[in-house]
Chain A
Amino acid sequence: MIATLGEYTLASLREIGRISAFIANGVKCCFTPPFYFKEILRHIISIGFYSLPIVGLTAIFVGMALALQMHVGFTRFNAEGAIATVVLIGITRELGPVFAGLMVAGRMSSSIAAEIGSMKVSEQIDALVTMSVDPYKFLVAPRIIAAVLTMPILVFIADIIGVMGGFLVATTLLDYSTGSYLAQTANNFELWDVLSGLFKAAAFGFSIASFGCYHGFSSDLGARGVGRATTSAVVASCIGILALNYILTTLFFGA
Chain B
Amino acid sequence: MKNTITIENIHKSFGKLHVLNGLSLNIENKEAHVILGQSGCGKSVLLKCLLGIFEIDSGEITVSGISVKDKSQSKEYMQKFSILFQGNALFDSMTVIENVEFGIKQSLKHKHLSDKEIRSIAEEKILAVGLQDRVFDIYPAEMSGGMQKRAALARAIAVEPEILLFDEPTSGLDPITGGLICNLLKDTVKNLGITSLTITHDLRVAEFLSDRVSVINKGQVAWIGHTKDMKKCGNEFVEEFYRASNVISARK
Interface set, chain B 93-107, CB cutoff 8 A to A:
93, 102-103, 106-107
Checking B74, B79, B87 against A123 with a beta-carbon cut-off of 8 angstroms, the contacting residue is: B87
The answer to whether B89 touches A131, judged by C-beta atoms less than 8 angstroms apart, is: no
Interface set, chain A 3-45, CB cutoff 8 A to B:
42
Q: Is B82 interfacial (CB 8 A cutoff)?
A: yes
Interface of A is mostly: helix
Contacts A42-B93, A124-B92 given; does A132 touch B85 at CB 8 Å: no
Interface size on A, residues (CB 8 A): 14
Q: Is A126 interfacial (CB 8 A cutoff)?
A: yes
| Contact mask for chain A residues 117-141; partner B; CB cutoff 8 A; 1 contact, 0 none | 0110011101101111100000000
CB distance from A6 to the nearest CB of B (A): 21
Cα(A171)–Cα(B81), bound, Å: 69
Contacts A42-B93, A126-B48, A126-B53 given; does A131 touch B103 at CB 8 Å: yes
How many B residues touch the partner, as a band?
A: 20 to 34
Chain A residues whose C-beta falls within 8 Å of the C-beta of B53 in the assembled complex: 126, 129-130
Cα(A148)–Cα(B91), bound, Å: 25
Chain B residues whose C-beta falls within 8 Å of the C-beta of A124 in the assembled complex: 89-92
CB distance from A111 to the nearest CB of B (A): 12
CB distance from A126 to the nearest CB of B (A): 5
Chain A residues whose C-beta falls within 8 Å of the C-beta of B107 in the assembled complex: 131-132
The answer to whether B106 touches A133, judged by C-beta atoms less than 8 angstroms apart, is: yes
The answer to whether B79 touches A132, judged by C-beta atoms less than 8 angstroms apart, is: yes
Chain B residues whose C-beta falls within 8 Å of the C-beta of A130 in the assembled complex: 51, 53, 78, 81-83
The answer to whether A132 touches B75, judged by C-beta atoms less than 8 angstroms apart, is: yes
Chain B residues whose C-beta falls within 8 Å of the C-beta of A131 in the assembled complex: 78, 102-103, 106-107, 159
The answer to whether B106 touches A132, judged by C-beta atoms less than 8 angstroms apart, is: yes
Cα(A126)–Cα(B52), bound, Å: 10
The answer to whether B85 touches A123, judged by C-beta atoms less than 8 angstroms apart, is: yes
Closest 5 pairs (CB-CB, A-B): A127-B89, A131-B106, A123-B89, A123-B85, A124-B89
